[in-house]
Chains A and B, each alone.
Chain A
Amino acid sequence: MNNYLLIESRDPFESNDVGYYYDLSKGLVDDGNEVTVFLVQNGVLAARPSAHSAALTALCQSGVKVLADDFSLRERGISKLAEGVLAAPIDVIVDRLAAGHKTLWH
């Protein structure tokens, strides 16, 4: 079992590649790993409740932890988050790196 941190900087409104990353995170969980998706920059736009946030909620329900960078949220005036998504400080990235989580950026 490995720990993964998948940092997502892209949003589903501008990029149709976000689905690949969400699917990858679910695939890693299904393979028995602990997975966190950390949304940063425009990636947090998907965390605002909308038709597109259902995918993130589904990820949470499948066992992926979904965090959204609090700075990016404030920058974009997002105060309400889709079900299952939690705001988190950037320090989480450093702490997970230090703890040896395999960390990728999309």
Chain B
Amino acid sequence: MAKKSLNVVESAYRAVMEEQDDTILWLLAAMQGAGGAHTVVLRGNAVNYAIAGQGAPGLTIGEWKQTQAPRMDRDVADLIENRKIPVYVVEEDLAERGIASDELVSGVKLLSRRALPKLFAEYEIISHW
């Protein structure tokens, strides 16, 4: 049986165009498929990943064109709907960034920063990404 693993993701937009996804959300999706039991908390700038409707067009450099530009909102929705990975978003970090809860993809759960210690107690492994 997989160990319950809480993943606090705070790094945001670090290499998403280059990798065409967020490499941590991608990794967790892959690990879930390998039998993992993961949960995600988006904090800091990573709360921005939950905003619906985001995404830049693919890069073009000379004649080279990117055809699979990332869509972080779709990846977050995919984690929730298809991978069955719960996704929490720290509400104080949303507020600090002027993000209202109705801007978010459906299915994310709001979590207060103050609730993190109690949430940590439910997991065997806790990682910061």
Report if A and B touch in the complex (beta carbons < 8 A).
Answer: yes
Q: Which residues of A contact B (CB under 8 A)?
A: 2, 4, 17, 20, 23-24, 27-28, 30-31, 33, 102, 104-106
Of the candidates B113, B114, B126, which one forms a contact with A102 in the assembled complex, judged by CB atoms under 8 Å apart? B126
Flag whether B65 is at the interface (Cβ < 8 A): no
Give the size category of B's interface with A.
Answer: 10 to 19
Alpha-carbon gap, A105 to B120, bound state (A): 14
A17 touches B113 (CB 8 A): no
Residue of B nearest to A33 (CB): B117
- Identify the B interface with A (CB < 8 A): 8, 10, 43-44, 113-114, 116-118, 120-121, 124-128
Point out the residues of chain A lying under 8 angstroms from B116, CB to CB: 24, 27
Can you spell out 22 A-B residue pairs with CB atoms less than 8 angstroms apart? A2-B120, A17-B44, A20-B43, A20-B44, A20-B113, A23-B113, A24-B116, A27-B114, A27-B116, A27-B117, A28-B117, A28-B120, A31-B117, A31-B118, A33-B117, A33-B121, A102-B120, A102-B125, A104-B126, A104-B127, A104-B128, A106-B128
Residue from A24, A30, A31, A104 within 8 A of B121 (CB atoms): A31
Q: A23-B113, A27-B116, A104-B127 are in contact. Are A17 and B121 (CB under 8 A)?
A: no
Complex CA distance for A105 and B127, rounded to whole angstroms = 7
The contact of A17 among B10, B114, B125, by CB within 8 Å, is B10
Tell me the bound Cα distance from A28 to B10 in angstroms: 19
| Chain B hits for A102, CB < 8 A | 120, 124-126
Is B113's CB under 8 angstroms from A30's CB? no
Which chain B residue shows the least CB distance to A31? Answer: B117
For A106, the closest partner residue in chain B by CB is B128
Complexed CA–CA distance, A28 and B123 (Å): 14
Q: Are A30 and B117 in contact (CB under 8 A)?
A: yes
**CB distance A2 to B121 under 8 Å?**
yes
Taking the closest CB of chain B, its distance from the CB of A59, in whole angstroms, is 15
A104 to B8, CA, bound (A): 10
